[in-house]
Structure 1
Amino acid sequence: MSDPFRFDRGHTDDLMSFLIASPSPYHAVANAAERLEKVGFRQVAETDAWDGTAGGKYVLRGGAIVAWYVPEGAAPHTPYRIVGAHTDSPNLRVKPLPDSGAHGWRQIAVEIYGGPLLNSWLDRDLGIAGRLSLRDGSTRLVNVDRPLLRVPQLAIHLDRTVTAEGLKLDKQRHLQPVWGLSDDVRDGDLISFLEQESGLPAGAVTGWDLMTHSVEPPAYLGRDRELVAGPRMDNLLSVHAGTAALTAAATSGREPAHIPVLAAFDHEENGSQSDTGADGPLLGSVLERSVFARGGGYEDRARSFAGTVCLSSDTGHAVHPNYAERHDPTHHPRVNGGPILKVNVNNRYATDGSGRSVFAAACERAGVPFQSFVSNNSMPCGTTIGPITAARHGIRTVDIGVAILSMHSARELCGADDPHLLADALLAFLEN
């Protein structure tokens, strides 16, 4: 890349602020939208007719956002360059009847979302955040970002087997947090509390999508502060990097040859099958409508999609110093070694040889090193939105990300340089 790096440790500082401000998918997309609007993007409603004018636009639906920038003079068949990511993280989510308790304790009934490391949620100070649906049909974001809940672990004196046999948690019985004391638990206590916190009148809330989060802020870690510990890096790290890359591509003064896109979906952690998930129609609908708004027809849509490439960006596994045998013996991604290219020949990742070339070219242009990740043959491989995007839309897709430790923990660990290296690579991909 002829220009100096666009991003540096200041990008990582900003990531930490983004994590704090985004305790739920709804907050994450609202914060991404706010950053886009500051550089001229405007929201378009799916129920309105769209125009084909140049500039930045975005669609916001629930916990998902699709944003795109149309360069001046873009033809209807102009291909897209897409950065894909997801906004959700494994956690404890509030049930429809949230108020419970026993033996003088007030508790909140929660359901396990995704595949969290359950032990990481024990003995942590938890807040509560999400979306409130109001009687008048509107919604309101809520974020109680202070110690409110706690899942207390059983003392070792009452479970002498834990040392020899390990910790065993029953998802139903052992993960219900406490939040007060009372022998008189009443339905509506939590929602009434959140109405007061949000300045809403009693009875205004008729629906909710609420979840817990650790209130401990992200922090630099290590002798030389070369590590970052924080929540929801899987996968808000990629959402943040994609937002930064798209805003930079739209404001660089160089009109890109393709149409750069950010597509951040909800519900990746439980299969992506929703109207806001990658297996839903949202991305395809937005891309098609953009083609049609610029005067194109089906042939233009087909030509555009045939030339489109998506980088599906999600976190991956750095080699763990205490469990190196769990990794492939010849593929040991390291933190601060640059983004990773994720490969699985059974299509759990969408990368193939031509996709590797696309990513290698972007990294070379950005001056960013990259690493390869493949799973140990004896270990099952995870998956991402990559194969879903490729299969659903017929779009060439490449799976990439950043190598981290403690994936799906309430608090994960990455290298302090990898977030801005990823953003540099994404920007080079979107611009070229």
Structure 2
Amino acid sequence: TSPFRIVGAHTDSPCLRVKPRPDGGGFGWRQLGVEVYGGALLNSWLDRDLGVAGRVVLSDGSAVDVAVHEPIARVPQLAIHLDRDVNDKGLLLDKQQHLTPVWGTGAAADGDFVNWLGAQANVSAADIAWWDLCLFDTTKAALLGSDRSLLASARLDNQLSCWAAVDALTAAAASETTSVIALFDHEEVGSESASGASGPLLSTVLERLSALRGADREGFHRALASSSCVSADNAHAVHPNYPERHEPGHRPLVNRGPAIKVNANQRYATNAETAAAFQRACERADVPWQVFVSRNNMPCGSTIGPLTATALGIPTVDVGVPQLSMHSARELCGVHDPIYLAQALSAYFSE
């Protein structure tokens, strides 16, 4: 069986998710109960026009996708006149008390949200059994800067890497390896779910692909032993206002190519061999590359890379496009780096 060339990424981003019984409010305001998903920069969700998107499950078990791109809700910040010290002492937000958005005026009543949701989904409210819905900033992605060298958008972490993986797969030349992209949910909350990287999805799919090619269990494990994985998840670009927060010798710049992410304590799965392999892919694609390492006194986050390497025993490299404002409702990266990443991944698939 041919070895696998895998690119993994995650589809989820920190956000505000609508609770099962969201109707509430007071003092003439109608409000929506929400739960904070992941490690969001909470202040970035204030004073933004928020839409609603997700999936509605009906009583017969069928599902309907919903995306309302109109301003429906807003988390209003307290006026400075009522919080005089906010600029000196910083903004303190209680997730339960201060992040409940308003979505109308008048007296709140049970059933308000489900009735509105039914109209948006073109179904009867009585047929709605459950939902997975989140709020999102309705501001569209935009090119930014006098030279239009920056991209501002929601969910760059990590749908940018998902786009690059898909683009790379469709552009890759034929090779003797089996190219796979694996786009997981729930990375921002630990990956422990049926659709997360800690679940059995990837290993099951790879084993079934091997079986379709006539491999037995031994053949499958031989294929894994010669396989490799690129875990693609955005990296921290050096922040011009906070350069001291970055490790001096490893501070990625925007529009200078993807960063190879290294952590000696295995928060990233990169080792010398996998780093060198991704470097070769960048060089074949004529793409610049960089290195990211966190400060010793400022531990980094993690990715699906170590989970994949541990579960499957596949050598893995962690890479990512440098960005600012990670986990904000609206993030920022260079316009060239997503393309650089896609080109490097395509060269990796084509090896």
TM beyond 0.5: yes
Aligned residue runs from structure 1 range 391-430, under 5 A: 391-430=310-349
Amino acid in structure 2 at the alignment position of 1:239: C
Alignment of 1:207 onto 2:130: yes
Amino acid in structure 1 at the alignment position of 2:346: L
Amino acid in structure 2 at the alignment position of 1:285: T
- Consecutive unaligned residues of structure 2, counting only runs of 5 or more, are none
Q: Deviations over 1:9-34 (max 9, x none)?
A: xxxxxxxxxxxxxxxxxxxxxxxxxx
Secondary structure of residue in 1 paired with 2:165: helix
CA distance in 2, matches of 1:321, 1:202: 50
CA contact (8 A) 2:152 2:332 kept: yes
CA contact (8 A) 2:114 2:125 kept: no
Secondary structure of residue in 2 paired with 1:245: helix
CA distance in 1, matches of 2:7, 2:343: 13
CA distance in 2, matches of 1:191, 1:430: 46
State the partner residue of 1:341: 260
CA distance in 2, matches of 1:160, 1:228: 34
State the partner residue of 1:61: none
Aligned length: 351
Alignment of 1:293 onto 2:212: yes
State the partner residue of 2:233: 314
CA distance in 2, matches of 1:276, 1:188: 31
CA distance in 2, matches of 1:381, 1:210: 29
Alignment of 1:304 onto 2:227: no
Aligned residue runs from structure 1 range 20-169, under 5 A: 77-169=1-93
State the partner residue of 2:104: 180
Q: CA deviation at 1:193?
A: 0.9
CA contact (8 A) 2:247 2:294 kept: yes
Q: CA deviation at 1:315?
A: 0.4
Secondary structure of residue in 1 paired with 2:125: coil
Amino acid in structure 2 at the alignment position of 1:139: A
Secondary structure of residue in 2 paired with 1:398: strand
CA distance in 2, matches of 1:109, 1:342: 37
Amino acid in structure 1 at the alignment position of 2:148: R
Q: Deviations over 1:198-221 (max 9, x none)?
A: 111231210100100000001000
CA distance in 1, matches of 2:31, 2:321: 37
Q: Deviations over 1:365-418 (max 9, x none)?
A: 100010000001110111000000000111111000100000000000000000
CA distance in 2, matches of 1:80, 1:324: 39
Amino acid in structure 2 at the alignment position of 1:191: V
> What percentage of residue pairs aligned between the two structures are identical?
57
Alignment of 1:239 onto 2:162: yes
Q: CA deviation at 1:295?
A: 1.4
Alignment of 1:372 onto 2:291: yes
CA-based RMSD of the aligned residues comes to 0.8
Amino acid in structure 2 at the alignment position of 1:200: V
Q: CA deviation at 1:229?
A: 0.4
Q: CA deviation at 1:188?
A: 2.1
Secondary structure of residue in 1 paired with 2:284: helix
Secondary structure of residue in 1 paired with 2:126: coil
Q: CA deviation at 1:158?
A: 0.7
State the partner residue of 2:279: 360
Secondary structure of residue in 2 paired with 1:375: coil
CA distance in 2, matches of 1:331, 1:222: 25
Q: CA deviation at 1:255?
A: 2.2
Amino acid in structure 1 at the alignment position of 2:82: L
CA distance in 1, matches of 2:150, 2:104: 36
Secondary structure of residue in 2 paired with 1:203: helix
CA distance in 2, matches of 1:78, 1:203: 51
Structure 1 runs, 4 residues or longer, greater than 2 Å off: none
Q: Deviations over 1:34-91 (max 9, x none)?
A: xxxxxxxxxxxxxxxxxxxxxxxxxxxxxxxxxxxxxxxxxxx211101100000001
CA distance in 1, matches of 2:325, 2:7: 24
Secondary structure of residue in 2 paired with 1:285: helix
Q: Deviations over 1:203-253 (max 9, x none)?
A: 12101001000000010000100001000000000000101111222xxxx
Amino acid in structure 2 at the alignment position of 1:245: A
CA distance in 1, matches of 2:201, 2:15: 24
- Consecutive unaligned residues of structure 1, counting only runs of 5 or more, are 1-76
